[in-house]
Amino acid sequence: MKSPILPAAAIIALSSIAALTSSDAAALPAEAAVNRGVVQLETGGSVGISVRIAEDLAKVLNDGTTRRILPVVGTGSLQNLTDLKLLHGIDLTILQTDVLDYAKQQNLFPGIESSITYIAKLYNEEFHLLARPEIKSVADLANQKVSVDLSGAATAITAGRLFDLLKIAVTTTNDDPETGLEKLRRGEIAAVALVTGKPAPLFCELIGESGLHFLAIPIDPAVTAAYIPARFTAEDYPGLVPYNQPVDTVAVSTVLAVANLQVGSERYRNVANFVEVFFTQFPRLLEAPHHPKWNEVNLAAELPHWRRFPAAENWIKRNGGTPVALNEDQMRDIFAKFLDERSRASGATALSGEQKTQLFDQFRRWQGEHLR
């Protein structure tokens, strides 16, 4: 069993105890040495995968003398964003991109687009919607209770936006995912929503007990304009998804965001050093046993309407980080093959050439708005 990541305060407290009990205080590192190169990275809760992602970064990038990535477990995306702006010491955080959009649209932090920068877009996190056996489709959730994690959590924001797009009025409850799952088992709620990278540890051990199952998310133009089509397979969740019966869903991308650091300050230099080593050592993160979601990361991918941290922007320009683009015909051919394979896997009727063209055109419009 993996040791949990301790919050920064706990780590400091344990360090203090060790200092008091040491028989040779003079042998301990000086305060300046302990704080050298520290970058504090706030993650989501332990039920998601961002904690594991932060662990991977720490294991690969920490060198013990000049650089230390210190993961801090957060309590929710909006709180993480607040911490990034206001809490002393938080340098980086992993956020869903729709949380940034939500904060901007709601004007929660005036001028946020000029004060928050990003290092890189990261992996996608899938929308999981686990329901009781009598709930056959998302439409059946109308006027039913759905747990969407704690208020201010990324899941609560994504679920609210998604149900609005689908025009389905649900009664949301705010339980942490573990509590929500227990309430689902007891029949107190109709479904549990969770946005996290697949496979989500919370669902991996489930074996379809009492008919619990994932609901498919309708992939219509309104939904695909805001979110990325995705799916769950038996390989992801062998106990919940039957073989050759994948479940369609959507995903949202995540981003590694940076606090508004003063140029030339020690914290700014520490983050710039982190960027240099992170980008240079990135191939190591693609190797086992690191999380497979690293394979979705394209360091050069842009986040439209947001500024990249200067050190990251300079590294990409210096190292030619822009990926080679496929031409239009190649993309159209790959897209058509994807649709054919998807139809065969689900047993659905194959799409006509005109339908494929319409879907591809919708995809290209989405790509222009979201990926640039």
The length of the chain, given as a count of residues: 372
Tens digit of each residue's pLDDT (9 = 90 or more) over 11-33 = 333 344 334 334 444 444 577 77
Give pLDDT tens digits for 55-70.
999 999 998 778 899 9
Q: What is the pLDDT of residue 11?
A: 35
Which is the CATH superfamily of the domain at 8-123+254-319? Answer: Periplasmic binding protein-like II (3.40.190.10)
pLDDT of residue 12: 35
Please spell the DSSP secondary structure of 16-29, one letter per residue.
Answer: HHHHHH-S-GGGSP
**In the chain, what are the domain boundaries?**
8-123+254-319, 125-252, 325-372
Q: Are 69 and 62 in contact (CB under 8 A)?
A: yes
Query: Does 125-252 match 8-123+254-319 at the fold level?
Result: yes
Q: What is the pLDDT of residue 221?
A: 87
Model pLDDT for residues 319-371, shown as the tens digit of each residue: 876 434 445 665 676 677 667 656 665 567 778 877 878 787 777 666 555 44
Asked whether the beta carbons of 295 and 124 are under 8 A apart, the reply is: no
Q: What is the pLDDT of residue 325?
A: 43
Q: Which of 47, 46, 80, 370 is nearest to 193 (CA)?
A: 47
> Where on the phi/psi map is residue 5: left (φ > 0), alpha (ψ -120 to 50), or beta?
beta
Q: Report the share of the chain in percent with pLDDT over 70.
A: 83
Q: What whole-number distance in Å separates Cα of residue 71 and Cα of residue 39?
A: 8
What mean pLDDT is predicted for residues 112-134?
Answer: 94
Res. 4: pLDDT tops 60 = no
pLDDT digits (tens, 9 = 90+) for 194-243: 999 999 989 988 887 778 999 999 988 889 888 999 999 999 999 999 98
Q: Which helix (H) or strand (E) holds 193?
A: strand 191-196
Q: In sequence order, what DSSP letters do the residues of 237-296 get, joined into one string?
A: -TTTS-TT--EEEEEEEEEEEE--PPTTSHHHHHHHHHHHHHHHTHHHHTSTTS-GGGGG
Per-residue pLDDT at 219: 84
278 phi and psi angles, rounded to 5 deg: -55, -50
Task: Round to whole Å and give the CA distance between 369 and 221.
Answer: 14
Domain 125-252 has CATH 3.40.190.10: yes
**Most distant CA atoms of the chain, gap in Å:** 78
